Homo-oligomer: A and B are copies of this chain.
Amino acid sequence: MDTTGRTRQAVTAYIDSAERRDWESFGALLAEDMVYEMPQTRERIRGKAAFLRFNREYPGDWHLEVRRVVADGRHAAVWVDARVGAERQDACVWFEMSEQGLISQVTDYWPEAYEPPSGREHLVERW
């Protein structure tokens, strides 16, 4: 498998193992010195141990499903359908892989719904 194929497999397994709460498989995908960032809250977690704990402790009956994986060498982006109870939210997750094929950087965006500004109703439809 080439680098892109290996990256695609790793980031897909990242979402799927988190959804299954299979923390052993999840941890096996991560570099020891990986860094996780959430730019919206300016939060950063350093290291696999803290990141595993963050995920294991994350509250709520959350569910994740891959909508799309885009893999390109040692980079990838995953478009995720997340759900907590009846609440749906999309996530955009950016990945970087180490030379060894482990996930070394994860950046999460959790965009919230909002009402559109006025003035463009003539161009758009709503759903």
Contacts and interface: CB of A to CB of B under 8 A. Distances in A.
Interface of A: 4, 8, 38-46, 50, 53-54, 57, 59, 68-72, 75-77, 79, 90, 92, 94, 109-116, 119-120, 123-127
A96 B26 CA distance: 29
A124 B70 contact: no
A65 B42 CA distance: 20
Nearest to A49: B123
Given A40-B111, A111-B40, A112-B112, A123 B45 contact: yes
Contacts of A116: 38, 41, 43
Contacts of A125: 43-46
